[in-house]
Amino acid sequence: MKLIPCPLNGLRPADEFIYAGEVRHMPDPAQSTDADWARYVFHRSGVPGVKQEWWCHTPSGYWFIAERDTTTDEILRSYPAAQRKVEAS
């Protein structure tokens, strides 16, 4: 089983974590068309590469961001959610 570095709890086995998808930029609801909004809600990019992802260490209830290379399944780093960078998609 994989080990995941939690910024709060250190290296812990993967089954203590849940994954909640890529960090995505929410477009301004008032400004976006139905099509743009639908793309935000339903579209997920499966292109392999380094992704910012939401992870939660469930015993401690701690959410953080991990940067993971989805081609190698290697977690490059992880940091608190406050430090995340969200780029407009």
Partner 1 sequence: MMRRLPAVEGEWIDRSRPLQLRFEGRTVTALQGDTLSSALAAAGIMTVARSFKYHRPRGIVSAAGHDANAVFQIGHEPNQRGDQIAAREGLAFQAVNTRGGVARDRASAIGLLARFLPVGFYYKAFLGQRSFPWFERIIRNFSGLGRVRFDRIDPPRERRYQHCDVAVIGAGIAGLAAAVSAAEHGARRIVLIDEAQRPGGSGLWHAKTQPQDVARCRELIDRLNASSDVELLCSHSVVGYYADHELAVSRIDREDGGLRLLRARAVVMATGCIEQPAVFRNNDLPGVLLGSAAQRLLYRHGIGAGERIVVLGANDEAVALALDLVSQGLTITDLAVPEGSPIDPTSLPFGALRAAGVRVHGNVRAIAAQAGSDGTLAAVEWLGAGRREQVTCDCLLMSTGWMPALQLALQCGGSITFDAALGQHLPQTLPAGLFVAGRANGCFDFADRATDGAAAGEQAARHARGDLPVADRSAPPRSTRRHSHPAALFAHAAGKEFVDLDEDLTLADLANAAQEGFDSVELLKRYSTVGMGPSQGKLSNLNAARQLARVTGRELPTLGLTTARPPWQPVSLGALAGARLAPLRRTAMDAWHDRHGAVWMPAGNWRRPAYYVGATDTQQQIGAEVHAVRNGAGLIDVSTLGKIEVMGRDAGLLLDRMYVGVVSDLAPGRTRYAVMLDEAGTIIDDGVVARLADGRFYITTTTGGSTAIYRELQRRVAEWQLDCTLHNLTGHLAAMNLAGPRCREILAQCTQLPLDDKAFPYLALREGHVAGAEARIARVGFVGELGYEIHTPCDQAQAVWDALLHAGAATGLRPFGVEAQRILRLEKGHIIVGQDTDGVTNPFEAGLARMLRMNKPFFTGQRSLQALQRRGDRQQLIGFTIAAAQVPLAESHLAIDAGNIIGRITSVAYSATLGRTIGLALLAPAHAVIGGTVQFRDDHGAFHPATLVAPPFYDPAGERQRSGAQA
Q: Does 18 interact with partner 1 (rule: CB under 8 A)? A: yes
Q: Does 1 interact with partner 1 (rule: CB under 8 A)? A: yes
Neighbour count for residue 66 (Cβ, 10 Å): 21
In whole angstroms, give the CA distance from residue 78 to residue 89. 21
Three-state SS at 32? coil
Give, as ranges, the residues between 30 and 89 that touch partner 1 (CB under 8 A): 32, 34, 37-38, 40-42, 54, 56, 58, 61, 63-64, 73, 80-82
Q: Are 89 and 71 in contact (CB under 8 A)?
A: no
**First vs last Cα of the chain: how many Å apart?**
33
Q: Does 2 interact with partner 1 (rule: CB under 8 A)? A: yes
Contact residues for partner 1, defined by CB under 8 A: 1-3, 13-14, 18, 20, 29, 32, 34, 37-38, 40-42, 54, 56, 58, 61, 63-64, 73, 80-82
